Chains A and B, each alone.
Chain A
Amino acid sequence: MLSIKNLTVSIHGKQIIGGLNLEVKEGEVHAIMGPNGSGKSTLASVIAGRDMFDVDAGEITYMDQNIFDMAPETRAREGIFLGFQYPVEIPGVSIANFLRTAINEKRKYLGLEPMTGAEFLKMMEEKKKMVEIHSKLTNRSVNEGFSGGEKKKNEIFQMAMLEPRLAILDETDSGLDIDALKVVANGVNKLRRPDNATIIITHYQRLLDYIVPDFVHVLYDGRIIKSGDKKLALELESKGYDWVKKETKADTIP
């Protein structure tokens, strides 16, 4: 589904990602872990189409299409979703209005009829239940005055509404208490299907107690220096990142 080959990215001449490779197939959950500043969020932003970075080398294909030929909205309509580490507050734009517009622009792109108001409301109620939103959050302006937990829940709610094929969750667990973390994890698990994939970017192992990944990758200094299964996350938790760093120095990584 997603294939990243030799990706090299910089901002203002400073290299952030250098020669990164990653393959994600349908039905898989990948966790990308790594210390601060290793390039995790940059990777997520580049896949979603943020234009503040320079892609110096490499390629990303999504569903066999070159992703760099696609505007951010096209990527979204083709099924890519980015859960933001810092969801943006947009005063005056209601969540309901914004999501209905987003869904209908996607449907138009896919050649489908727009969703009626009634269908949309019904869907919204279902998805609210799924991600355990009980409040009138959806009547409010996008993220305006939301608590940290509400913002992250809102990201998962939007993900549920947009039904992506590839979801990238950028530090969705940061700043969440254990209850909010469970809600977020439950939402992600309920949305898992054999034909979609999830990339979870996280600093801590904690979220992976609730969302079990098929693969765990360690990102360091803009490259994936180690990959493994869920056990790798536990090992990282107990031994720290220094352990992988030392280990990779011993191996000679090309």
Chain B
Amino acid sequence: MNTMYTTLIKDKLLELFETEQHNIRGNATPMVNRIRKHALTRFKTNGFPTTKKESWRFTDLTPLLNTEFAFDFRNQSKSTDIEKIFTCDVYDLDTYSHTLLNGWLIYKHAPLTRLADGTIVGSLAKAMEVYPDLVDRYLGKAAATEQHEMAALNTAFLQDGLFIFVPENTNVEKPVQLINIVNAEQPVFLQPRHLVIVGKNASITLVHCDHSLTHNISFTNTVLEVFAEEGARVEHYKMQNKGRNSALITHSFFHQKENSRVSSNIITLNGGFTKNIVEVTIDGTKCESDHYGLYLVDSNQHVDNQLNIDHRAPGSTSNQLYKGILDDEAKAVFSGKVMVRRHAQQTKAFQNNKNILLTDEAKANTQPHLEIYADDVKCSHGATVGQLDPNAMFYLRSRGLCERTARQMMMIAFAGEVVQKISIDALRARITNMVEKRLKGELSICEQCVLHCNSKEPTSFNIDLSKL
């Protein structure tokens, strides 16, 4: 019965691809359109991922697809004055900010900006026109559409998203912030596509935020490709503030050349359904790759983090640390894989997933995998699912702390290990504050969310997507 829904939307998507072909292809390069067609064939064959697939075993998409979704292939958001509907309220966070509304980049002056240091930031759709060679060289090279059904779907329909090119030896001074906003009066299906190219010995920090402004149903299937050339440094922060009816799948594909350093930090505090897929290909020696994640989920939230680090070259180090606190009937899935290929000697790879369950109904599934074909490596993995340590609880209470304070202190400390990894002060302060308030119960997840579902005044916006 359930599979019917997915077939329905699959057929609809295939049909839309034909009827909207002109709009979807737009001004994309011939190469991109070839990749697109190839990905569509994959999607035709593989369809949506089902729970029969190991990496989706505990995460069922079918109920989420049982909706009449609207699509925007023609950029209806073009002329929106974004400041009228949304401003980021993280105090003191000084960034080059770019906003995507319903999958399309919003801009005041020009779709692509060249910063003083030569960095190009802006719309991917425009970049395909202006820098076709650059786009052709990278786009689709990291996003493996064979293994990832949802990435294949994104690639088939890709139109716009954020494009960043950092030239060699360039340090982008301020973080680049990407705010992906969903604001629609009816259920929407969005597939933003981001491409980040970081040249030799260049560095960039990317702050990636997903927001929804209404509590309507939405399905966002994002693909981000990041290329770190020799000696490049990339920091990626992924945050979200989504309503309970939102589904958000984010693929982050990192391709690392030698001596490059990549770190990612995925914080999941608000959202209905969240799946984060992090794929790292270490394709050069002496790379460092650190991946952190924190999820604090309650009610019937579902969060799934899937990581795959592929060591293809010797002498690199990777590190995964994912921690979660689950309340009510929330569900979390962690699956972390480390692959060490035969030539990747002297690899160091560490993986750890820790979960605290606050109720008997909360559920965590954690699956560590190590696949090692080299013989001179140092790898470890660990996974825990448990309650707060009763010995530590007694220790704190025996000093005069009440049970509630002791619990909060331990949970904040537990989450703190991941939050402390955030190197942008303003962002770390904000996340620390949100985590503490959340764990102290001062702010329920709803109150803190921009939607303010409980408030009497409805949030109203000017964009009428029903015209689509």
Contact = CB atoms under 8 A, between A and B. Distances in A.
A89 B399 CA distance: 14
B400 A102 contact: yes
Contacts, number: 77
Interface in A79-103: 81-82, 84, 87-93, 97-99, 101-103
Interface stretch (B337-345, B357-365, B412-420): B412-420
Contacts of A106: 400
Nearest to A86: B391
Contact of B396 (A50, A90, A109): A90
Interface residues of B, number: 21
A105 B400 contact: yes
Contacts of A103: 400
A71 interface: yes
A76 B395 CA distance: 11
Is chain B's interface secondary structure helix, strand, loop, or mixed overall? Answer: helix
A82 B391 CA distance: 13
Q: Which 9 A-B pairs have the closest CB atoms?
A: A92-B413, A76-B400, A88-B395, A72-B397, A102-B399, A102-B400, A93-B413, A106-B400, A73-B397
A95 B402 CA distance: 17
Contacts of A75: 398
Contacts of B417: 91-92
Given A81-B399, A90-B413, A142-B395, 18 more contacts: A49-B397, A72-B394, A73-B402, A76-B399, A87-B395, A89-B392, A90-B389, A90-B392, A90-B410, A93-B410, A97-B409, A98-B401, A98-B409, A101-B409, A105-B400, A141-B413, A158-B399, A162-B399
A72 B403 CA distance: 9
Interface in A41-61: 48-50
Interface residues of A, number: 32
A73 B398 CA distance: 5
Most buried by A among B392, B397, B399: B399
Contacts of B392: 88-90
A128 to B, nearest CB: 17
B384 interface: no
A91 B410 CA distance: 8
B416 A92 contact: yes
Given A93-B410, A98-B396, A98-B409, A88 B391 contact: yes
Given A93-B410, A101-B409, A88 B389 contact: yes
Contacts of B416: 92
B459 interface: no
B398 A48 contact: yes
Contacts of B414: 92
Contacts of A72: 394, 397-398
A217 interface: no
A52 B76 CA distance: 64
Nearest to B413: A92
A46 B389 CA distance: 19
Interface in B137-177: none
A73 B395 contact: no
A105 B404 CA distance: 12
A77 interface: yes
Contacts of A109: 400
Given A90-B413, A92-B414, A92-B416, A76 B405 contact: no
A75 B416 CA distance: 30
Nearest to A45: B394
A208 B412 CA distance: 41
Contacts of A82: 398
B401 to A, nearest CB: 6
Nearest to A49: B398
Contacts of B401: 73, 98, 101-102, 105
A59 to B, nearest CB: 21
Most buried by A among B394, B403, B405, B417: B394
Most buried by A among B395, B398, B416: B398
Contacts of B396: 90, 93, 98, 102
A71 B409 CA distance: 18
Contacts of B410: 90, 93
Most buried by A among B392, B395, B405: B395
A50 B416 CA distance: 28
A73 B394 CA distance: 9
Nearest to B419: A92
A28 B414 CA distance: 41
A76 B389 CA distance: 20
Nearest to A92: B413
Given A90-B413, A91-B413, A77 B400 contact: yes
Contacts of B403: 71, 73
